Amino acid sequence: MGLSVYIPGDEGVGRASGETTLGNAFLQERVALYGFGGFMIAATFFVLRVVIALTVEPLPLSHSSFVLHELCIASYLAVWLIARRGRYSLWTIRGLDYAGVFLNTTWTVLTVMGIPMANRPDYIIIQCLSLVLMPRAIFVPSSAKRTGAIGALMGVMLLVSMYYASSHADPSTFPDAQRRELSPINTLVRSGAWWALTAGLAALTSHVIYGLQREVHRVRRLGQYALEEKLGEGGMGVVYRANHAMLRRPTAVKLLAPEKAGAVSIARFEREVRLTARLSHPNTVTIYDYGRTPEGSFYYAMELLEGATLEQIVDACGAQPPGRVVHIASQIASALCEAHAMGLIHRDIKPANVMLCERGGIADMVKVVDFGLVKELETDQGALTHGGTVTGTPLYLAPEAIRLPDQIDARADIYALGAVLYFLLAGEHVFQGQTTMEICAHHLHTAPVPIAEKCRAALGPDLAALVMECLAKDAAARPQSAEQVLRRLQDCADGKAWSTREARAWWQEHGGELHGRGTPKPVSGHSTIAVDLQRR
């Protein structure tokens, strides 16, 4: 799940029933890891035992110790398979954790009944139980007190089984030198001492790791926001899911990457917040808050968008119906109308920066995100927007953004919007290439294949003409404003508008397919770049 932070102290009662927090999700992930680790350990020893039983020390595989060992493997496997699927409440996760520990303790101590005392089952069982408790202390976040209590209960089960085994053993089968050592009292004292040492070491391990978890949580709290899982990473920083301490409102927090926290980067980051916060259009992501931590980290909080990017949608489902494309593009153009009217250019319009989500019961609500490269036309400062630098995503760069990056205007966003329309209608990019330079060369010199030849669905001439005009090499041949694009899109939508009913039906059919796809992996041409022309 990317970076996830377990929140110590967040494991008590008092949560709404059925609520799943990221702390729970992380704990569940660690319980699954514990189950997998235990399964691998138990399975490895089982294979070794089988090899020994078949070669060195003959023992029928139907022996009770083999059956109990198989139950131990099955218990770990069950914990792993259950914990890695779905999302569970805190009590369910804890129950799964405890069930794994005590079921495997049960199978382990029962093997005492089948091991002769002369073979020293006390040492064997303590070693086996150590492989139950110690991995748990390492993998599963737990306080020292909790681990100590679990170790104490396991110790009771160990001592009861050892007392039973030693008191029912036939002393005549013991070697003369071991008869006193293997008496019930000596066995209990020795087993208890060894187990106390093991349980104490496990509790200390939990204390150290749990303390580190608390420190991570302290560092990952930004003002009133507690960071949870990592959602994505862009040119200016990393985005996390977060929760406001007082409002309990799910939020996305963008944190300036520490390695980029120089004076110029900080100024750019603050500028991004300031410019984006000026935008109030419903199709533009909303900024809630901004601040700095005592440690000097810079962040801002924005609305959390639950949905999928256009890139994810096309990747999963292919080209989209023209009516839906018009519906989506109209919202993007509308958001750009406000930005351009305020003298702002986005400079990185691409499918990965446009999300479809549900807001106020409206399906297919567009949100334009990531204004990290935004350019302010009237008062732009070159040092803050990479003066003399080609900035953007190669697959969506306008020719003038490559030739004269310092002189671009709103028509560069219109070119990128045309490339997004092409991608949605055709299911593929305007240009392909093995390298960034090859893709840029296509934008400069290659005429795109007409969208009417690429689109499999019936495409109206108005929409086809608009897409190709937006992709004109000469900025003067394109629509001259986002407002013009919007008007033409509205004309294209006459008689075949994408309805709310169609949007809901689409999400019901494909929502599961998109769930959990995460951030798309970057491939050539998809990632935002910055090439300094003055140094080349």
Q: Residues with catalytic annotation? A: 348
The CA distance from 196 to 158, in Å, is 11
Are 108 and 126 in contact by the 8 Å Cβ rule? The answer is no
- What DSSP character marks residue 524? T
Are 115 and 68 in contact by the 8 Å Cβ rule? The answer is no
Radius of gyration of the chain (CA): 31
The CA distance from 137 to 369, in Å, is 41
Half-sphere exposure of 134 (CA within 13 A, CB side): 12
The residue assigned the tokens 């490559």 is 402
- What DSSP character marks residue 420? H
Q: How many CB atoms lie within 10 A of CB 136?
A: 26
Q: Please provide the distance, in angstroms rounded to a whole number, between the alpha carbons at the two ends of the chain.
A: 39
The CA-atom distances, in angstroms, between 22 and each of 226, 230, 289, 306 are: 10, 11, 22, 15
Are 333 and 416 in contact by the 8 Å Cβ rule? The answer is no
The CA-atom distances, in angstroms, between 309 and each of 147, 174, 233 are: 43, 72, 14
The CA distance from 344 to 482, in Å, is 12
Are 506 and 324 in contact by the 8 Å Cβ rule? The answer is yes
Beta bridge partners of 511: none
- What DSSP character marks residue 334? H
Chain centre distance of CA 150: 31
- Edge-to-edge strand order for the sheet containing 225-233? 221-222, 225-233, 237-244, 250-256, 298-303, 287-292
- What six digits make up the tokens of 166? 């030693």
Dihedral angle over CA of 129, 130, 135, 138, nearest 10: 140
The SS3 assignment for 1 reads coil
Dihedral angle over CA of 199, 203, 205, 211, nearest 10: 180
Half-sphere exposure of 288 (CA within 13 A, CB side): 17
